[in-house]
Structure 1
Amino acid sequence: MIIQAPTQPFETDRAGTLIYPVDNGEPLSNDTEHLKWITFLKNGLEDWFGDRTDVFVAADLLWYPIEGRPDICKAPDVMVVLDHPAGERLSYKQWEEQHRMPDVVFEFISKSNTADEMMDKLDFYSDMGCREFFIYDYRRGKFSSFLRNGGVGLHKTPPAADGSWHSKLLDLTFGLDPAGRLWIRRPDGKLMETQRQISVRADAEAKRADTETKRADTAARRAELLAAKLRELGINPDLL
């Protein structure tokens, strides 16, 4: 990537320190469905890596790869940094993060995104060293995978024979259902779920458990009544 000289001075604070904005002035999402996909993936990844403190997952966080150049930045819809401390950040300044760039980045294409914008992001992520880049166009039902080929940048990869794509870094498989909706499968065979799906499933499991408990209690009461009746008849139920 050719780093051109800035066209104007950068903003500084009163102490003369460069300001790296934590907000690029753009909305988190361009429409309600865009936001649903961002939160679905971010929450799903945090759940998948929930027992690890060495995976950083963020959504729409400004990433500054070069110290001294606040004009060079991107805010991926979702990004993942592996083998790196989790936690809260106002922005991701790479020089303060042991110079670790995001390993995996995701973008969801909305109506306002252009082909030139996606190509610019692909070039940026490729030049900055990202190892995997995935794009999902939820309006058209299309998915694209770009993987790093050695040290020569990101290259588009075709789907497997079953029509799916695999992330070696995340150990997750991506695919599209007949309606073109994205699904994500974990290596344990479980599909990544939305928070609503998780809540509905938890409620259903709780209801099933409650029903089984009530059935067991009813059976126990019937057994106690039967035992009492047998004793009234002079029969020891323990000997039956």
Structure 2
Amino acid sequence: MITPRKSADRGRTKIDWLDSRHTFSFGDYYDPAQMGFRTLRVINEDRVRPGAGFPTHGHRDMEIITYILEGALVHKDSLGTGSIIRPGEAQRMSAGAGITHSEFNHSKTEPVHFLQIWITPSTRGIAPGYEQKTIDDAKAHGGFAPVGSPNGGDRSVRIHQDAALSVAKLERGQTVATNLKKGRHGFVQVARGAVTVNGTALAEGDGATISDEEKVTMVANSPAEVLFFDLA
């Protein structure tokens, strides 16, 4: 069963420096029917104007993954981490017992466009942590490249949960497929372009929950970049 979550139906926060679309309830956007899916709690598609960003703020007990689509993001946190995240890289911050951080657009002239993803951890109160890795871009073209996984293998960041995230970058007409083991669930987020997933058409910004499907097949209707979550 595939249930689409259309881009136009997402929540929205729009202020002078931020335009954010919320797949699930977040901040002032609340929909009791959209409180996440399995352990996937947040997918925010954020656009931040040049030189602006999120001032220092705190989190607890959440795995936070940042995936850049365009531009670059400066990250600083209470662990002493300072980094710049660019397209082709994945960042994972484990908030655990508590962490503060800030995120700002690295450019003074160009916007930054990124996805911020929250996954609930399997254990509360773990030590806060930070990790940043380069995604296998060659594997992503025409296939699924790991972005995050429970063991942090194959160039993926470690997620403290039974959840895996991968990305596929497809040319028009390309097809990729992956299996879902019995009892597991999937979520697809179309970052760019358009795809058909098991017969369901999804456009840029659309997502979809997937349950009771043994195989997930994606066909690109245009050049596309798609995130796929494999969830318990």
TM-score, length-scaled by structure 1? 0.29
More helix by percentage: 1
Which structure's CA Rg is the greater one? 1
TM-score, length-scaled by structure 2? 0.30
